[in-house]
Chains A and B, each alone.
Chain A
Amino acid sequence: MSIVAASRPGSWDFPLFVHVLGAMILVGGLLAAAGALGYARGDARFLRLGYWSLLAVSLPGWVVMRGGAEWIRSKEGWNDLPEGVSQPSWLDIGSVLADLGGLILLVSLVAGGVGVRQLRDGKGGGLLRATLVLSIVLLAAYVVAVWAMAAKPG
């Protein structure tokens, strides 16, 4: 892996940077969201902070990460594999977790959005707890994805 990285063509660097930076912002947003939702203890301002961390930080991070992923994927030629040749397992793990994670992020945003709206009526705590759980699940999933993309098992 390290030898591959050292000999990577220069034209791959920027797409890789976009991919990694997006992923880092995504994970940072998830950490902030989980922290704010986890320590909110019913405080509406903190619950909103957690939700907005997901919406304004994690979601853009996911979009940049996913766009960068497609860009570097095409640069590396993984879209043009000959028939019968499968992509490596680290790429499968990363792709599945990125897409599944995006879906879970959307679900958590919808649940959290409804929860934040209901806060005005003194409700929404359950939905925001679900958002917290999903954020933690996403954090764990992306730790596995980062491990797979960095160590490239298989």
Chain B
Amino acid sequence: MSFDDWVLALHVLSAFSWVAGVVLFWVLVVAVRKTDTAEETLRMEPMTRIGNVAVGLGMGGTILFGLWLAFSVGGYNIWDGWIVAALVLWVISAPLGQRTGAAYMQGTTKARELRHAGQTGANAELLALNRTSTGLVMQSLWSLVVLLILLDMIWKPGA
């Protein structure tokens, strides 16, 4: 196995980590829609951290190893249309992921306030925040962009 083969494997593993993180966040998006207490909302936090690590490693790994491959592997150039498209989509995906996180953090922040105030029962405002439509739209757009990157990587249009 050549060094580039190893880098390609790490690139693909990073992509898996990224998408696995996105899938995990979908599980949380569905789970949190029925969550109306502070305690249960805050219990989601460790899973959110796992998702953040998976997405962080995935996004970092795909761009680092992907750039290496673009420069190192013969036949590929950084200005190839499909590579430029992937880079643009990668850049677009970052703020979408951040906005998704910010939308769902409002529920977490509210849950902290409720716990601090000693309110442990069901709370309609918390439920509404956990069902954020902005977060759902951002998560959907983010997933779509990640899917487009996968399609681009497999079809390599113009290669």
Q: Which residues of A are interface residues toward B (Cβ below 8 A)?
A: 1-3, 5-6, 10, 13, 16-17, 20-21, 23-25, 27-32, 35-36, 39, 43, 45-46, 49, 53, 57, 143, 146-147, 149-153
Chain B residues, Cβ within 8 Å of A1 = 5, 8
Assembled-state Cα–Cα distance A55/B96 (Å): 28
**Does B150 lie within 8 Å of A20, measured CB to CB?**
yes
Interface residue B73 (Cβ < 8 Å from any Cβ of A): yes
Chain A residues, Cβ within 8 Å of B26 = 28
Q: A151-B1, A152-B5 are in contact. Are A6 and B159 (CB under 8 A)?
A: yes
Interface residue B4 (Cβ < 8 Å from any Cβ of A): yes
Main secondary structure of the interface of A (DSSP, over half): helix
Query: 0/1 per residue, B1-28, Cβ < 8 Å to A?
Result: 1001110110111011001111110111
**Does B76 lie within 8 Å of A29, measured CB to CB?**
no
- Besides A6-B76, A28-B26, 19 other A-B contacts (C-beta < 8 A): A2-B4, A2-B8, A6-B75, A25-B19, A25-B23, A27-B19, A27-B20, A28-B22, A28-B23, A28-B24, A31-B20, A31-B23, A35-B46, A35-B51, A49-B27, A57-B27, A143-B13, A149-B12, A151-B6
Interface residue B50 (Cβ < 8 Å from any Cβ of A): yes
Chain A residues, Cβ within 8 Å of B22 = 28
Assembled-state Cα–Cα distance A10/B156 (Å): 10
CB<8 Å pairs between A and B, sample of 22: A1-B5, A2-B4, A6-B75, A6-B76, A6-B156, A20-B154, A24-B150, A25-B19, A25-B23, A28-B20, A28-B26, A29-B23, A31-B24, A32-B27, A32-B28, A32-B47, A35-B24, A39-B43, A43-B43, A49-B27, A146-B9, A150-B11
Assembled-state Cα–Cα distance A16/B154 (Å): 8
For chain B, the count of residues having a C-beta within 8 Å of the partner chain is 39
Main secondary structure of the interface of B (DSSP, over half): helix
Chain A residues, Cβ within 8 Å of B76 = 2, 6
Q: Which residues of B are interface residues toward A (Cβ below 8 A)?
A: 1, 4-6, 8-9, 11-13, 15-16, 19-24, 26-28, 31, 40, 43, 46-47, 50-51, 54, 69, 73-76, 150-151, 154-156, 159
Assembled-state Cα–Cα distance A43/B159 (Å): 51
Closest CB-CB distance, A87 to chain B, in whole Å? 18
Closest residue on chain A to residue B2 by CB atoms: A1
Closest CB-CB distance, B150 to chain A, in whole Å? 7
Assembled-state Cα–Cα distance A31/B75 (Å): 35
